[in-house]
A and B are shown apart, each in its own frame.
Chain A
Amino acid sequence: MNTAPTPQPSHRPAAAAGGLHDDAEDRRLVACVCAHELAAFESLYRRYHPRLCRFLHRMLRPEHLVEEVLDDTMIVVWNQAERFNGTSKVSTWIFAIAYRKALKALSRHEDPVPDTAEDDADHPAADPAERPDARMSLAQARAAIDTALRTLSADQRAAVELTYFHGFSYPEIAQIVDCPTDTVKTRMFHARKRLKTAFGGQLDDWL
């Protein structure tokens, strides 16, 4: 069907599902944390707790690891607030710390899924006979996608999560995971391809 795309009301950032924090407020809080103001740190902790939980749950899996890495991340924020140099958003800085901590935890606890998404030969499309009933609910479809996301590499999971849920731009994701911007786009492209392959490309059946 040749229809024009739905016009976007604005190309400026819209709040993604995870919400975009007020960076000005974050910066004010970080400045107070530099002075070791516990109340400001508590505010910052509470602002970031749900987002970091969500992100780390995607990156890791056992709940105790999520708590451990979240605590380690915020301790770094407390102890090294003066290292935030203001060239990025506070959210980018904090997520970058969380990402590095998560990778370290993964290397200690899991065998990492190799980032070989360029070659989907090892991941054939799902057998139609094994595809779940088309009447499966949205919740079940999301659960199945959740399972499929676990087959991605850590880098791909991070790209998908940071884009779809946390609303970061690809340059910001590049800062978080410390790679070139083209690499972020490539990882995301192949992650989407891999997810679609896992569902045989019949996305409509799930809705």
Chain B
Amino acid sequence: MSGQILRLEPDPHVAVQRLLPWYLTGRLETAEHDIVETHLAQCPECRAELETERQWQLLHPGHGAQVDVEEGWARMRARLSGQVPATAPAPLDTAMPAPAVRRRGWLPPAWRTPARLPSRAWAAPALLSAGLAAAIVFTLRPAAPVAPLAQYHGLAAPAETSATAVVRFRPDATEAQIRHGLKDSGARLVDGPTVSDAYVVRLPREHYAAALDKLRKEPGVALVEALESASP
């Protein structure tokens, strides 16, 4: 820290010895370094102390806790994916990241208010838009608090045959790109958007790695992160 006023101890030996640890690690500012070096050149007592300090540094234990970074990151990722709002999510058209999507009005008006969703509309898989919106609506019903990820059961295959991943779409992704990406990879939206505008999707476990790859190559996709091991 330049410009720092140096206040030395009345005893120059004590003053220098207090600085020895950082002298040895090379972390003293120029002025203090020069003071220490000048004193050491003239003081055998402090030079001996310096040598003792050097030995202490050599002996300082070099081990630490054996905490696996991969396990740690997997735990962190799971914790981040659980950061979803506890209150009812915003209507879908404001939650989608792309202004272009809203301008196109790709959602029928009825679907923009999930509470008015006809109860059996999700049962029409031939209507892709309806099916997609239904999957979102089913899991984003405003009355229900957001459950931990592990408890979600979407319209896709049961949890044991599917695996989850986090997807973030590009801000300029179109509805067609999003729909194509999800359909082509076999993904089903199950949660989101999170505070970082990410969505959680379920992918077929049998082709998990390939599905992740496909999603990553989609033009509308900005980020894909696997949440589980790729092995079946």
Contacts and interface: CB of A to CB of B under 8 A. Distances in A.
Interface of A: 1-5, 8, 10-14, 16-17, 36-39, 41-42, 45-46, 49-50, 53-54, 56-58, 63, 66-67, 70-71, 74-75, 78, 138, 141-143, 145-146, 149, 160, 163-165, 167-171, 182, 185-186, 188-189, 192, 195-196, 203-204, 206-207
Contacts of A146: 61
Contacts of B65: 53-54, 56-57, 63, 66
A66 B75 CA distance: 14
A15 to B, nearest CB: 9
B129 to A, nearest CB: 29
A165 B55 contact: no
Interface of A is mostly: helix
Interface in B7-61: 7, 17-19, 21-23, 25-30, 33-34, 37, 40-41, 44, 47, 50, 52-53, 55-57, 59-61
B61 A149 contact: yes
B44 to A, nearest CB: 5
B80 A14 contact: no
Interface string B178-208: 0000000000000000011110000000000
B17 to A, nearest CB: 7
A188 B21 contact: yes
Interface residues of B, number: 52
A1 B198 CA distance: 67
A51 to B, nearest CB: 9
5 contacts: A36-B197, A46-B73, A49-B67, A163-B27, A203-B59
A71 B79 contact: yes
Given A53-B67, A54-B65, A164-B21, A11 B56 contact: no
Given A149-B61, A171-B1, A207-B55, A49 B69 contact: yes
Contacts of A163: 21-22, 25, 27
Contact of A17 (B23, B56, B62, B69): B62
B69 A164 contact: no
A50 B64 contact: yes
